[in-house]
Amino acid sequence: MIDVATGLLAGWVGLQAKAKAESALQTWGERVLPPEPGQKELLGADPAGHGERMPPSILWKRVVELTGRNPEAMTPEQVEAGAVWFHRALGYGYPVVYSLVSRRIPAARLFSGALGGTALFTAFHATTLPAMGVQAPVRDLPQAWWVWEGGSHIVFGVAVDAVIGAVRTITR
């Protein structure tokens, strides 16, 4: 039970860290690697300016459509609320699993969570989401996308690992 509670706490901290990192990394990344004209209009290419075109928003619209409702009739606030649900499901689910697995297999914490964050990025943004058509292919996205999307997932993984490590140290 302690691992579930630890994972939920780690998820909350990880989500906060990821959001702050993503925003800062997008600003910095686009300054260093400016997007080409039109790239920020692509699916998944601009969380700061086009939240409605980000994968969680598109996935939520698909879920709504499956229920027989018209996703285009939703307000931007309704789309955002659904998108937040998708992020929270993964943002809390992964750390719970990570906490449970890493207690039994300590090597899962290799690289202090950076490996886990990289695995999440690769499993979703670099492969599954483009294949589902809810994100543009990675070859078409701005180069800065690698900085803010990949970087923020690594920050998430490290933050999750740090919380789990701290809780385990405190509760020994």
Average of per-residue pLDDT across 53-60:
92
pLDDT band at 48 (very low <50, low <70, confident <90, very high): confident
Q: Is the dihedral of CA 155, 118, 63, 57 positive or negative?
A: positive
Question: Phi, psi at residue 47, to the nearest 5°?
Answer: -65, -30
User: What pTM was computed for the model?
Assistant: 0.93
Average of per-residue pLDDT across 45-49:
88
pLDDT tens for each residue of 74-130? 888 899 899 998 889 999 999 999 999 999 999 999 899 999 999 999 999 999 999
The per-residue pLDDT for 76 is 87
Q: Does residue 52 have a pLDDT over 90?
A: no
